[in-house]
Amino acid sequence: LRRCVRLLLSPVRLLARLGLRDSFCTKVFPCLTAKVAPICNRKVYQQKQKPFSNWRKFAGPSGQLTLLEIGTGTGTNFQFYPPGCRLTCTDPNPNFRKFLLGSLSENQHLKLEHLVVASGEDLHQIPDGAVDAVVCALVLCSVTNIKKVLTEVLRVLRLGGAFYFLEHVAADHSSWTYFWQKVCDPVWKYFGDGCSLSRETQQELEKTNFSELNLRCIHVTPSWIPTSPHIIGYAVK
């Protein structure tokens, strides 16, 4: 089945080799995300509220939270951030900027300090130990190298800071969901801007040198879709 899917993708793969697909996706994907993100957010709203409610626990001595979001996209998570927090947003796609600024205008309780065009694997613009919290939501599924991203997260976090995450992940390997994840992965990556359905993100988090890992598995409805299995929680440096 995967070979059949790859064969059907041959025209798209040809466009990718010619460099036409990336240019198209860079411009179209932010528009598509702006439409889909609010729908996805409503599905996980209650699940997000619980882990995203203990921000003050990780605020600095002044009581003000310095927060970095990796792969901010359209700014869907802004509504969960505490008033007055100092926010740095990063995304490798500059075409998300207008959507992000639109979300920011609707969340005036936030203070945007920096807007950086950068991938999660290379955050050299952010100094070591500069932030109290890092947020990554539905991003690790599409990065090139999860290990590099998590290494950067540890670097920019101050000691005792927290990394908040929400990611769709690989299903149980004996399940039909995992079977269809593996079948659909090739086409999903092409049309999902590199997103993989079968990332073993939990294993990568467990291997990273966090002092504490709070994680739980959830399923987003409808349960039959290949992106249904999720993990959510936070890890402490």
pLDDT tens digits for range 139-159: 999 999 999 999 999 999 999
pTM (two decimals): 0.89
What confidence tens digit (pLDDT) does each residue in 149-186 have?
A: 999 999 999 999 999 999 999 999 999 999 999 988 88
Placement of tokens 């505490």 in the chain:
82
Closest CA relative to residue 93, chosen from 36, 139, 145: 139
Placement of tokens 């807007």 in the chain:
115
pLDDT score of 31: 81
Task: Please list, residue by residue across 202-235, b when 16 or more beta carbons sit within 10 angstroms of its beta carbon and e when fewer do.
Answer: bebbeebebeeeeeeeeebeeeeebbbbbbbbbb
The residue count of the chain comes to 237
pLDDT score of 5: 65
CA-CA distance, 93 to 201, in Å (whole number)? 22
Half-sphere exposure of 197 (CA within 13 A, CB side): 23
Closest CA relative to residue 169, chosen from 146, 193, 135: 146
Low-confidence ranges of the chain (pLDDT < 70): 5-6, 8-25
Looking at domain 1-224+231-236, its CATH class is alpha beta
pLDDT score of 214: 94
pLDDT score of 45: 82
pLDDT score of 146: 96
pLDDT score of 13: 63
Distances (CA, A) of 11 to 43, 142, 188: 34, 22, 15
pLDDT score of 113: 92
pLDDT score of 4: 75
> One-letter amino acid identity for 99?
F
